[in-house]
Amino acid sequence: MAKTKELLEHYQQRRNKILQMSSPDDIEKRHKGGQWTARERIDYFFDKDTFTEMGMFVKHRTTAFGMDKREIPADGIITGFGKVNGRYVVAMAEDYMAMAGTFGEQHGKKLAYAINFAKEKGYPFVGMNDSGGARLQEGMDTLEAYGWTFRSQILASGVIPQIALLMGPCLGGQAYHPVMQDFLIQCKDTGFMGIAGPAFVETQLGQKITLAELSGYKAHAVKSGCTHMVAKDDKDAIDKCKELLALLPSNNREKPPRVTTIDIPERAAPELDTLIPDESTRPYDMKKIIRAVVDDGYFFESMASHAPNVVTGFARFNGRTVGIYASQPMYAGGVINIDAADKAARFIRFCDLFNIPMVTFGDCPGYMIGSEQDWKGILRHGAKLLFAWADATIPLISIMVRKSYAGAHYGMLDKAIGADFVFAWPTARITIVGADTAASVIFAREIRESKTPDETRTKRVQEYSDLFENAFVAAERSCVDEIIMPRDTRKMINRALDVLEEKNKDNKAFNARYWRKYANINL
């Protein structure tokens, strides 16, 4: 029987071996490539001396293909919990220096256990993805482990916030793990994600393409919409993750933490009174409005490069976290197309799941029309916005800045679809369609048969515009709660948030509904 001292020494030796499996030369090479090691990432992420590792001594059980002689420290994945900015968080970091961080049976079990642990304790989960993909040597055991991972994170979805940091390669079936989390932060030069790598694509399809083109940040932050934020490097990715966590609650039973601000809740923003151009088709930057009314001008944007015709992100009002969804006239006039609808609907549902009030700033001419959008399913995708708004139980506040036409009237949040408060600027144009479109339909025959068609058309357009294309008709019919001066927008939002503070107290909003599992949302 070994003595106590010998057992302790043996433990320390085995622990040190796991912690020091990578050579100094390999670590230096990694640093030169612009990346940290998995343990360096964990150390930087957590508050000093708060991280507790789980599963350090886990080992694979495969013996085929020489695996009985392979040592893989912690099976290529570090899991555990600790504090980030004083609040508990569960995290994992895949270790590319341990057999390329490949995903095997025990790797998957550790990951699934960490997510389940986070869900049960009510702590956010953060994953640092950096893996060569499936560990093919383990065959069916690897395949089954993916199922455990996917099921655990799906059952945790909507219970705890989940954030993925794409810091290295993440290809094949393993790429579903980060993309299924709530937010994905991708390192610009080192993060790659795809259903298959370039070699496999060329073999199967004959298409030659680089890894960066196929799976880099431009592919996902701009085109596919899988990536929410792009980071310069590992440090920037972790810093962005910490910033995002500070805006979110730990779980769906809590409200986001409220911070102290010196920004006066009823502060006026007189610069907004002159921001909207006289010409209704002339663009302006909606982000100027957002930054003028939120606390200290702070806005944490999500999916900035994808579907830029709408803006989503987080800000604070009097210290409260609020989700922002806005039209952006600088891009395609702020129209809602397929990508914009998907981007906004998922953001709305996230905010609703985690008790984050929402404020919208609308200036939208409508949903995008035309054969391309119709054939790709704009009706199906656009409906997601309607489902998201109608299902939402959080405080909902709409600011109608300029155009609020047709389906966009609901897509940008109005009273009928579920807004608690609707405030309109005097510049708001609220009607079924623009005056030009309406006149061309209603007075088509008159214009066609007129001896002076241009003059007749101009007269009828102006007539329709004067009658309907303004905020006052909507206010007369109680579709708008109040028409406000632009400078008073911050004040009115804060007052609305104050009175809606206990909107869902005792879950009355939920109990008043018919029982159902969930809405059959268009997907």
Q: What is the pLDDT of residues 203-229, one digit of tens each?
A: 999 999 999 999 999 999 999 999 999
Amino acid 160 reads I
Give, to the nearest 10 degrees, the angle between helix 378-391 and helix 338-353: 20
Stretch 463-480: mean pLDDT, rounded?
84
At 134, is the secondary structure helix, strand, or coil?
Answer: strand
The secondary structure of the chain in percent helix, strand, coil, rounded to multiples of 5, reads 45, 20, 35
Q: What is the average pLDDT score of the chain? A: 92
508, pLDDT greater than 70: no
Global pTM value? 0.93
- Residue 317 CB contacts under 8 Å (≥ 6 apart), including other chains: 265, 293, 294, 295, 359, 490, 493, 494, 497
- DSSP 3-state assignment of 123? coil
pLDDT of residue 383: 95
The confidence score (pLDDT) of residue 512 equals 59
Q: What integer pLDDT is reported at residue 432 of this predicted model?
A: 79
Active-site amino acid positions? 172-173, 407-408
Which residues make up the CATH 3.90.226.10 domain(s) of the chain?
36-247, 271-433+470-511
Pick from 430, 385, 391, 434: nearest CA to 411:
385
Residue 495 has pLDDT above 90, yes or no: yes
Contacts by residues 156-160 (CB-CB < 8 Å, ≥ 24 positions apart): 156/115, 156/116, 156/118, 156/119, 156/125, 157/182, 158/252, 158/353, 159/119, 159/122, 159/251, 159/252, 160/118, 160/119, 160/122, 160/123, 160/124, 160/125, 160/250, 160/251, 160/252
Task: Spell out the SS3 assignment of 326-350.
Answer: EECCCCHHHCECHHHHHHHHHHHHH
- What is the pLDDT, as a whole number, of residue 26? 85
**Cβ–Cβ contacts within 10 Å for residue 112, how many?**
20
Reported as a single tens digit per residue, the pLDDT across 14-27 is: 998 888 877 888 88
pLDDT digits (tens, 9 = 90+) for 58-73: 888 887 888 888 888 8
Which of 88-102, 113-127, 300-314, 449-463 comes out lowest in average pLDDT? 449-463
For residues 449-473, average pLDDT: 78
Q: Please state the CATH superfamily assignment of the domain spanning residues 271-433+470-511 in this structure.
A: 2-enoyl-CoA Hydratase; Chain A, domain 1 (3.90.226.10)
Average pLDDT over every residue of 448-475? 79
DSSP 255: P
> Is the separation of the CB atoms in 104 and 176 below 8 Å?
no
Q: Inform me whether the pLDDT recorded for 364 exceeds 60.
A: yes
CB distance 471 to 424 below 8 Å: yes
For residue 231, what are the β-bridge partners? 187
Is residue 161 within 8 A of residue 182, CB to CB? The reply is yes
Fold of 36-247: 2-enoyl-CoA Hydratase; Chain A, domain 1 (3.90.226)
Q: Where are the beta strands (DSSP E) in 68-171?
A: 77-84, 87-94, 125-129, 162-166, 169-171
**% the chain with pLDDT above 90:** 68
DSSP category for residue 258: P
Over the stretch 234-284, which tens digit does the pLDDT of each residue have? Answer: 999 999 999 999 999 999 999 999 999 999 999 999 999 999 999 988 999
Band (200; pLDDT cuts 50, 70, 90)? confident
Enter the tokens of residue 352. Answer: 């609703």
Q: What is the pLDDT of residue 68?
A: 82
What are the residue ranges of helices labelled H in 221-377? 234-247, 286-293, 338-353, 371-376
